[in-house]
Structure 1
Amino acid sequence: MGIFSSIANLFSGSGTDNSVPAADPVEHNGFTITPTPQSDQGQYRVCAIITKGEGETQKQHNFIRSDLVASRDECIELTVRKAKMTIDQMGDQIF
């Protein structure tokens, strides 16, 4: 029965807990980066919400990378650095 449980966990997403609180937003070149590190099997996945504009004209991009980092603070730092680089390279094309 152990093998079947393991296979079921692969498809059910067990081991991933997305309930980590978001970090404080960071402004960069007119964009707002809100790091939202995701807990993943004892580590944290680089993830953020990048927005630009307000109200009905606000655009949003879910920024998720495959990088896993041991601590939440390191993850937030890496997320902001990678998001800024992506914004600098792509600008509004990110949306």
Structure 2
Amino acid sequence: MSFLKKLFGGSREAAEIPAPKVTETLDHAGFTIKATPMQEGGQFRLAALIEKEVGGTMKSHQMIRADMFSSKEDATQFALKKAQQVIDEQGEAIFRD
């Protein structure tokens, strides 16, 4: 069983997974948007964390898109814009499973 865990990553501890680095934060319509572009090779993938306190509980939604950018700054700005669009379209529904 140990072999299979190592092969498929079952022995990996959660502490080994790095937290996404926030490059910019923006408040929009009661939500907090944290741009977290992900470096992949020489490019950056559009990603953001959308948070809001709902009923006394902090809810969060990790948004990761296929869009790639050559600079971290571009990925950050487009992540903020896309997250605003998602919030405007879906509101708190983004937190539903």
Structure 2: tracts of 5 or more residues without a match? 1-17
Q: Which residue of structure 2 aligns with residue 76 of structure 1?
A: 76
Structure 1: tracts of 5 or more residues without a match? 1-17
Aligned alpha-carbon RMSD (Å): 2.0
Instruction: Report the secondary structure of 2:24's partner residue.
Output: coil
Partner Cα distance (1:46, 1:34) in 2: 11
Give the TM-score, by structure 2 length: 0.73
Runs of 4 or more above 6 Å deviation: none
- How many residues were matched structurally? 78
Instruction: Report the secondary structure of 1:75's partner residue.
Output: helix
Cα distance per residue 1:21-76 (max 9 Å; x no partner): 3112100000000001000111000001100017x511000010000000000000
Cα offset for 1:19? 7.7
Confirm or deny: 8 A CA contact 1:21 1:36 kept in the other structure.
yes
Give the TM-score, by structure 1 length: 0.75
Partner Cα distance (1:51, 1:24) in 2: 14
